[in-house]
Structure 1
Amino acid sequence: MKPINAITLSGFTLTAIAIYVLGYFPFIPAWPIFITWACFFHMDGGINKNQAFFATLRHICLGAFASWMSALAVMNNPFSGAIADQLWAPVLIAAAIALLMRLSTVIQFSVTPAIIYGYALIWAFLSVPGLFDQEILLSLTFKNAIIAIVFSVLLGACAGYMNAMMVNFLCNLKLRKLP
């Protein structure tokens, strides 16, 4: 099968299965799965699926963890006053993003966009009303952003890996012509 056909068929099939199965687990956010799945291929998952799997997890989970820590720090502003209250979150988040970007000098964290995807995933999750709460952020439930997002990221990396395997299988499949 031609690669474009294999990619199309496997993408369609696995996406349909993922969306169907996720319907039974509404506490698992779907969008981080698909963002991670796409990131897997951005990390050369179609060429080296093993390397891409671990690189994707390493980058996105670093960003997610930094974001989760930032959220906890935002809630525990050590400064008082109107200006300090308004500046604390923007300055803290900007510093965290700058530090994450600086990590691009370390080969294991050289794909800055993937790290920022992880950072953004946590804040997107926390934008759901009621979830930006310290008690929830420290709980061992799927309402905790770090638990829900990291679990979804793991599922997304697995989906990317399965997608790469399926594409490889379909491209190497030899079909016999019927007499």
Structure 2
Amino acid sequence: MCGRDSATQRLLQGSAICLGGNWGVTFATEASVDFNWVDFNKGRTMEMSRITALAISVSILGAIATWLFLTVGSIVIWGAFLAWACFYHSGGDDAAFKSTITSNVFGVFMASTTAFIILTVPGGKVLGPTVWPALVAGISFFLYIIAANIPAFASIPGTTYGYAATFAYVLQTPDRFTPQAIGSLSLNSSYIVVSLSMIIGAIFAYASAKGADMLVGSAKAPA
């Protein structure tokens, strides 16, 4: 029979662990591994790791989100997944939820406006079809990065996610890179469809984090 101290020592040495008496070992893994002794006779269960909880929560909500976007159409699932990633990249908490929506939508606004200016202002006739778009894009980069001095727009990566998603949408979707489509009040407009997609993605991301918290909390609760 192994005692608590000897079992811990042997575990840290990478050898087989001996469970004796009423004692067992649970693993709580996030950034590192913690060893928590649990008295099974008291009815407590093994703790669920944060990663396992996230895997369960995200897989369920990800399936629901995929079904929703495929059913509705027009809105873009990859825009939602970008916002989902942005949420966790930004910290995965309440503040991250707010900054994700604000910065993503700001990025969509900047990119859509950039595309609209490229298409409607005849700078290409003077500067050429490659220099003009590059110049307008460069100015827009400066503007959205300098806007990070404003707290609401402080997440430059979040703004870039929205910016990139917008140009992916208008350049890869037929008939969307036109002033008529961009300026319309419909789901043909990048202002609307990409913003809506990313807001929905942020909501699903926030729900997945809360779902993971619930799973971890329920696993820790005494039976």
Whole-Å separation in 1 of the counterparts to 2:222 and 2:106: 47
Residues 137, 145 of structure 1: 8 Å contact kept: yes
Residues 77, 88 of structure 1: 8 Å contact kept: no
Q: SS in structure 2 opposite 1:130?
A: coil
Q: CA RMSD in A?
A: 1.7
Where do residues 149-164 of structure 1 align in structure 2 (5 Å cutoff)?
149-164=194-209
Higher relative CO (Cα under 8 Å, sequence separation at least 6) belongs to: 1
- The amino acid of 1:148's aligned partner reads V
Where do residues 1-179 of structure 1 align in structure 2 (5 Å cutoff)?
1-45=48-92, 48=93, 50-79=94-123, 81=125, 83-127=127-171, 128-174=173-219
Identity of aligned residues (%): 25
TM-score, L = length of structure 2? 0.73
Residues 77, 85 of structure 1: 8 Å contact kept: no
Instruction: Quote the residue 2:15 is aligned against.
Output: none
Residues 104, 160 of structure 2: 8 Å contact kept: yes
1:102 Cα deviation after fit: 2.1
- The amino acid of 2:202's aligned partner reads A
For the structure 1 residues 7 and 80, does the alpha-carbon distance in structure 2 shift closer, same or farther, using more than 3 Å as the test?
A: closer
Q: SS in structure 2 opposite 1:23?
A: helix
- Larger fraction in strand: 2
- Larger fraction in helix: 1
1:135 Cα deviation after fit: 1.2
Tell me which structure has the larger Cα radius of gyration: 2
Q: Which consecutive unaligned segments of at least 5 residues does structure 1 have?
A: none
Residues 80, 201 of structure 2: 8 Å contact kept: yes
Residues 40, 56 of structure 1: 8 Å contact kept: yes
Q: SS in structure 2 opposite 1:142?
A: coil
